[in-house]
Structure 1
Amino acid sequence: MGHTELAALLAVADAPGLTPGALAQELLLSTGATTAVVDRLEKSGHVTRSRHPGDRRSLFLHLTAQGEGTTTTLREAYQYVLSTTGTDETIAEALPQLDSIAAALDAAARESVS
Structure 2
Amino acid sequence: MTDTAPALPQQRGQELPPAPVSPTVSVPEPTPDTDLAKLMTAFRVLQMQHARVLHHESHTRSLNATDTRFVFFLAAADGQGVTPKQAGEYLELTTGAMTSLIDRLEKRAHIERRPNPEDRRSILIHLTPSGAEVAKGIGAVYTSAFREVIAPDDRAQLAAAFDRLGTALDRHSRAVHDQATVAGLVP
Structure with bigger RCO (C-alpha 8 Å, 6+ apart): 1
Quick one: which amino acid aligns to residue 9 of structure 1? Answer: V
**Structure 1 residue ranges without an equivalent (≥5):** none
* CA positional deviation for 1:44: 0.4
- Which of these residues, 65, 73, 76, is aligned with residue 3 of structure 1? 65
CA distance in 2, matches of 1:9, 1:78: 15
* 1:50-106, Cα deviation, whole Å (9 max, x unpaired): 12246432010111111111111111111123344x4568xx6xx88xx69xx59xx
- Which of these residues, 76, 88, 96, is aligned with residue 14 of structure 1? 76
SS for the counterpart of 2:81 is: coil
CA distance in 1, matches of 2:126, 2:117: 15
Moved more, 32-41 or 48-57: 48-57
RMSD across aligned C-alpha pairs, in angstroms? 3.2
CA distance in 2, matches of 1:44, 1:54: 27
For the pair 1:35 / 2:88, whether they are aligned, the reply is: no
**Structure 2 residue ranges without an equivalent (≥5):** 1-62, 181-185
SS for the counterpart of 2:109 is: coil
* Percent of residue pairs identical: 30
- Which of these residues, 18, 41, 57, is aligned with residue 121 of structure 2? 57
More helix per residue: 1 or 2?
1
